[in-house]
Amino acid sequence: MTNLPEEEASDLVNSPADDVANHAPAPAHLVPDSTLVSYAAPIGQSDAPPISQPSATVSPSPDAEPLLFQSFAQIPIRPPARIPNFGHLARLIPIGGVAFAGTIAVLLAPMHFHWFGWSMDTQAAASNVQLILASEAILYLITYAISLAVFPHFWNKGFFAGLQWRGAVVLERFWPLAATALACAGLAVLDEVLMPGPSNAPIEKMMSAPGAAWLMFAFGTTIAPFFEEMFFRGFLLPALCTAWDWTVEQITHIPAPPLDANGAPQWSLAAMAVASVLTSVPFALLHVDQQGHALGPFLLLILVSLILCTVRLATKSLAASTLVHACYNFIIFSLALIGTGGFRHFDKM
C-alpha cells in the first residue's frame, strides 16, 4: 500500500516523456520508488524497460539491402529529337519501295490492255510522256499518303509541322520569294548563253510530242515542285544538317545548337553549308538525264538547288522553297511557250 493519491500515481505513469522533454528534475516527493515501478509495470514483468518516446526520424539500418535495379527504376532524361533526321529518312526509303510496287500494280492493267496508247514495250514506255508523268504522279501520291499516316506517330506532331511547312511565310514574303524565282530564271538564261546544252536534249524531244508540253507544264509547276521539295529540302536537308552537328559534337564535345522556341531544330552555319551542297548534287543528278548530261545545265541545277536550300533554311519554311521552285519552273516553261509559239515550233528553241 502507498499513501499517494490515485491521481498522482496516474500522472507518474502516463507522462514520463513530458518530464524528460522539459529537462526539469522531478520534485522530491514525486520521485517514484520501487513500489511505484512495480505498480506501473505489467504483472509478472517488474523489470520491463521504461516507456520511451519514439524518435522523429528513422535512420535505415546499415545491414539493410539496397534497392535492386535502382538505376533501371529511374526514367532517363532524353533530349528532344530533331526531326526529320536520318532515322526518319531511312524509314522513307522503304515507304518509297512500297509506293514503287504499288505504282507497278496500278499501271500493269492499263499497259497490258494498251489503254491510253500505253504499251508494255520498254522503249515505247520510255518515250511516252503521258505514261512517264502518270507513273511519277502515282509514285509521289502513294509515298505521300503513307508518309502522311506514318510519320506523325514518330514525331508526335503533324506531318507538315514536322517538315516546317509554315505556309504563312509564303503570304508574308510572296514578292521577295517571287523575285528570287525570277533571279533563278535569269541565271538559267545566262547559263544558256555561256554554257548551252545540247540542241536535241531528251526533254525537248519529250515536249515536242502532241500535248506533251502542256502536260509537262502542268506537272512541272504543281506536282513535281511539291514532292521534290518534300524529299530534298523537307527530309534530306534537315537530316544532313543534324548529322553534321551531331558528328561535330561527338568529336569536339561542343553541344549542337538548341531547339528554338517552337521546338524546331537549329543548326550551325557549317552544317547548313555542307548539307546544302550534299543535297544539291543528287537534286541535279535527278534531272541530268533530261538535259542530256550536259555540264552547263548540271551546274545550273546545282546553283538553283543551293538557292532553294538557302530559302528553306533562312525562312524555316518548306512552303517558301516550294513556291520559289514552282515559280522558277513556271517562268522557264513560260519562256519556252513564248519561244516556240505555243509549243508548236520547237525548232526555234
Judge whether 28 lies within some domain: no
Mean pLDDT of 174-199: 93
Judge whether 234 lies within some domain: yes
Residue 10: strand, helix, or coil: helix
Among the three residues 108, 128, 159, which one is the final residue of a domain in this structure? 159
Among the three residues 142, 159, 176, which one is the final residue of a domain in this structure? 159
Q: Domain of residue 140: give its range.
A: 82-159
Residues 6+ positions from 240 with CB-CB distance below 8 Å: 271, 274, 275, 278, 279
Judge whether 334 lies within some domain: yes
DSSP-derived letter for residue 347 is G
Confidence (pTM): 0.76
Q: Identify whether residues 113 and 189 lie together within a single domain.
A: no
Judge whether 337 lies within some domain: yes
CA–chain centroid gap for 322, Å, is: 18
Judge whether 265 lies within some domain: yes
Among the three residues 108, 134, 159, which one is the final residue of a domain in this structure? 159
Q: Identify whether residues 150 and 224 lie together within a single domain.
A: no
- Given a contact cutoff of 8 angstroms between Cβ atoms, the answer to whether 226 and 70 are in contact is no
Alpha-helix residue ranges (DSSP H) falling in the chain:
6-14, 16-22, 34-40, 70-73, 86-112, 122-126, 129-155, 159-162, 168-172, 174-194, 202-207, 212-221, 223-229, 237-252, 269-287, 295-315, 318-339
Residues 6+ positions from 146 with CB-CB distance below 8 Å: 95, 98, 99
Mean pLDDT of 107-128: 84
Q: How many domains does the chain have?
A: 2
Q: What is the pLDDT of residues 57-73, one digit of tens each?
A: 455 555 555 555 555 55
Q: What is the pLDDT of residues 235-251, one digit of tens each?
A: 999 999 999 999 999 99
Q: How far apart are the C-alpha atoms of 201 and 178, rounded to whole Å?
A: 28
Q: How far apart are the C-alpha atoms of 218 and 330, rounded to whole Å?
A: 9
DSSP 317-341: -HHHHHHHHHHHHHHHHHHHHHHTT
The predicted pLDDT at position 289 comes to 85
Q: Identify whether residues 188 and 119 lie together within a single domain.
A: no
The predicted pLDDT at position 162 comes to 94
Q: How many residues does the chain have?
A: 349
Q: Identify whether residues 150 and 180 lie together within a single domain.
A: no
Residues 6+ positions from 307 with CB-CB distance below 8 Å: 180, 183, 184, 324
Q: Identify whether residues 191 and 154 lie together within a single domain.
A: no
